[in-house]
Amino acid sequence: MENNTHISSESNTPVDTQQYHKKRSRNGSVVARALFGIVFGFIGGVMAFSILPYVKNYAQNPFIRKIFHQTSDQNIKATNDINTVVSTAEDTTVINTVEKASPAVVSVVISQDVPKLQSAFGSPFEFPFFMMPQDNQNNGSSDQAPTQKQTIGQGSGFLVSADGLIVTNKHVVSSKTADYTIIGSDGKKYSAKVLARDPNRDIALIKIDAKDLPYLQLGNSDDVKVGQTVVAIGNSLGEFSNTVSKGIISGLKRNLVAGSDFGGSERLSDIIQTDAAINPGNSGGPLLDVSGNVIGVNVAMAQGAQSIGFALPANQIKKIIDQVQSTGKITTAFLGVRYIILTPDMQKEQSLPLDHGALILRGDKMTDFAVIPGSPADKAGLVENDIITEIDNTAIDSDHQIADLVADHKPGDVLSLTVWHKGETKTISVTLEERK
């Protein structure tokens, strides 16, 4: 029998001759494929060269141009279809939010006895709060002057319970002699009673006698992000009830002083800025996220600007609602000092020892005490010309004022104050008390 096994001269390793012939066969096929590729590559090159003029001038060839344009049109159509789907989904979300929230948004109408010839309204476009303006409470009329009940202002509000509890702004229901009427989204009218006005924030709670009413849920305003979509609903210009506008959150934790043409002003801290269109009459209306939760209460607008509005964060409202529902009133803490925030310029002008903190200082009137007698500040030994530099390790400045920090606490809480007193710095503990 013939031996099919050979010895490799390099390695003394047996080599199978059948495998050897298979390798030779594969090597041959590789050569054949290489020759095949060269031939057809040459033919392809000749063809490509010959049709190059036609490719360069494809725009003159209706067949090629038609295929090209069909492909482009299909891409454009696909992009437009995607944009349409996204836009439709966003519109649907906003529509659902509005349909869910609108039944719980109300108009607040303020009426009062005024002289018959007296105008009830000022210019709404000069009023930075989002309500139609009220007249001065002291209208100068005598007992003999003929009067009549007139609408002197309008604002907005929203229900937060099925039994008729309504949130609005304090400046909407500031008059203690006016009558307040609530008009629901269905046109029904209710007489309203003011339950509580927050002395620290521009919030009030009013009540109507009704049951099984639609109401809104308060969301977590700490989760709000700049750029997210929001919806505002309110009684714009006191004429267009349940007006809807859409925008975004433009900024967070803004601090400002809002006032009216009638002399009142109030500091607003840590509030939300939005570009959703808001007008006089929107005061007290809700600012909603796309889930229909209240994230803010519309409160003020910037004069001489477009699309710059502000809302009180919902988290500032929650504890007020809880207090009123459980106790029937708003309980707030107070320290009992009058102060101004120091700046480097003030230090130079007044030769003060510090350029920061809150200088305890009396007001213009004799009754404007620097430290209220019998107050927590008085009991802790604070006096005029003391400078409070920190409260619970938070430095006092224009963005962190004493009133803001005290408002975050309740009566009975103990604060640690860092105070500059007659040339030395010391720490004082103060127990807050309820504002009477």
Which member of 283, 378, 386, 404 is catalytic? 283
Nearest-CA neighbor of 370 among 352, 355, 347, 387? 387
Which member of 107, 171, 269, 375 is catalytic? 171
Structure tokens at 268: 């607003």
| 283 counts as catalytic | yes
| 21 counts as catalytic | no
Which residues on adjacent β-strands are paired with residue 196? 205
Residue 42 CA, distance from chain mean position = 70
DSSP 132: B
Which member of 135, 174, 175, 202 is catalytic? 202
d(CA 309, CA 231): 12
d(CA 429, CA 436): 21
Residue type, 123: S
Nearest-CA neighbor of 418 among 343, 358, 332, 339? 358
| 141 counts as catalytic | no
Which residues on adjacent β-strands are paired with residue 190? 182
Structure tokens at 304: 């001489």
d(CA 178, CA 168): 15
Structure tokens at 274: 């939005």
Helix, strand, coil % in the chain, rounded to nearest 5: 30, 35, 35
Catalytic residue annotation:
171, 202, 283
